């Protein structure tokens, strides 16, 4: 029997300046995308990432749409991206008329590596979409060198990487254009929302135009191109600014939660938690566990057993090549056979509760249930 979940997989922490800033929006009447908090969030977030320009949008998926469109990618172009990620990445490429080319993930980090990317480069390749997975950065140096050698653009999806760095440099600062999500389960949330960041002034202006229906500055209702209404509201930006002010605190709490999990599960080495390669500290957007390859450990079974114990959790991403919307595309059947590692971790991986309000006793409860329902090899 399923019981009411008492330990959530995720929920935001909203006890900073969030309420004060939202009240300011209401009292001043600035609730639309024209309000001052939008600009403050754009400037503050870009500065935190070390970028010159920030363009706020209404969610992380459309941030990818805007990025792909701003780069002018289209029919005949190929974009290399991971198989193990959310469908938004491939959807942005497909909607632009370009072709996504999928690469399997690495078995230990679950990220894409330069070697796998290199094998997929063709004369039609125009861009590499890097997606940092579950709080662990991609090894960027060899990817940047690969892009330089082949003259390729890098789109960096840093949706899960608020507050994370690679070799001391903020994630989100590596792409020709980079994107973030501010969904409610991210370290910085606006409920729904996103951000595009870049150092290129021309790209930034193109993104601002695309997110605002391509209005001409001098002739408001004359549109030289087709854009979208992807604007972020002042209310959302107010929430995001308050979250940004405490980003380091929120990342520290996530890391504390994972430390608790490691303490509780250290005698169960067959339960694989988030990777932390030498010299890299994961920022733990999600607390993850991969179980031994046994039928009873498949994610659907584990999620059901957790639910019976009042614990919420969520599945890993499904490999893009298995998703019906993607499988209808040409060559998807071939791609499905190639991404063995993505299939393996998706089949036996779950995201554990890591809500920012969790305390050590909550983690102890989750770990106890996990040990009881998961089967050792």
Residue written as token pair 């289209």: 74
186 is a catalytic site residue: yes
Strands (E), 20-75: 53-57
Question: Positive or negative CA dihedral for 193, 358, 354, 155?
Answer: positive
What SS3 class is residue 194? strand
Tell me the C-alpha distance between 273 and 324, whole Å: 29
- What lies within 8 Å, CB to CB, of 210 at 6+ separation is 66, 69, 70, 225, 227, 228, 230
- Sequence-distant contacts of 220-228: CB under 8 A, at least 24 apart: 228/62, 228/65, 228/66
Concatenating the DSSP letter of every residue in 244-274 gives: HTTHHHHHHHHHHHHHHHHHHHTT-TTSEE-
Which one from 126, 186, 253, 254 is the annotated catalytic residue? 186
Between strands 177-181 and 153-157, the pairing is parallel
What SS3 class is residue 182? coil
Closest alpha carbon to 348 in 310, 279, 283, 300: 300
Catalytically active residues, by annotation: 186
């Amino acid at each position: 029997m399923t019981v009411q979940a008492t330990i959530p997989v995720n929920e935001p922490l909203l006890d900073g300046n969030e309420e004060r800033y939202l009240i300011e929006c209401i009292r001043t009447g600035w609730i639309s995308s024209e309000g001052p908090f939008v600009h403050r969030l754009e400037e503050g977030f870009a500065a935190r990432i070390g970028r010159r320009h920030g363009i706020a949008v209404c969610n992380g998926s459309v941030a990818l749409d805007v990025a792909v469109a701003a780069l002018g990618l289209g029919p005949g172009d190929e974009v290399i991206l991971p198989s193990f990620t959310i469908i938004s990445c491939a959807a942005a490429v497909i909607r632009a008329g370009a072709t996504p080319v999928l690469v399997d993930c690495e078995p230990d980090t679950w990220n894409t590596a330069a070697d796998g990317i290199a094998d997929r480069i063709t004369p039609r390749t125009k861009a590499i979409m890097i997606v940092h997975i579950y709080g662990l950065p991609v090894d960027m140096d060899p990817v940047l060198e690969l892009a330089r050698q082949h003259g390729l653009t890098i789109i960096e999806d840093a949706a899960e990487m608020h507050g994370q760095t690679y070799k001391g440099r903020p994630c989100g600062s590596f792409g020709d254009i980079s994107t973030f999500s501010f969904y409610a389960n991210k370290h910085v949330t606006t409920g729904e929302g996103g951000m595009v960041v870049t150092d290129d002034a021309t790209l930034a202006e193109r993104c601002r135009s695309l997110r605002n229906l391509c209005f001409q500055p001098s002739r408001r209702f004359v549109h030289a191109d087709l854009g979208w209404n992807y604007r972020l509201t002042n209310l959302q930006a107010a929430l995001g600014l308050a979250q940004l002010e405490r980003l380091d605190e929120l990342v520290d709490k996530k890391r504390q939660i994972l430390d608790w999990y490691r303490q509780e599960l250290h005698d169960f080495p067959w339960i694989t938690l988030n990777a932390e390669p030498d010299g890299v500290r994961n920022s733990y957007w999600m607390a993850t566990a991969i179980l031994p390859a046994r039928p009873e450990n498949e994610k659907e079974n584990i999620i059901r057993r957790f639910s019976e114990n009042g614990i919420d959790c969520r599945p890993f991403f499904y490999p893009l090549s298995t998703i019906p919307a993607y499988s209808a595309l040409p060559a998807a059947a071939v791609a499905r056979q190639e991404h063995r590692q993505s299939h393996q971790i998706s089949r036996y991986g779950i995201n554990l509760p890591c809500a920012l309000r969790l305390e050590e006793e909550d983690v102890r409860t989750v770990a106890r249930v996990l040990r009881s329902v998961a089967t050792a090899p």
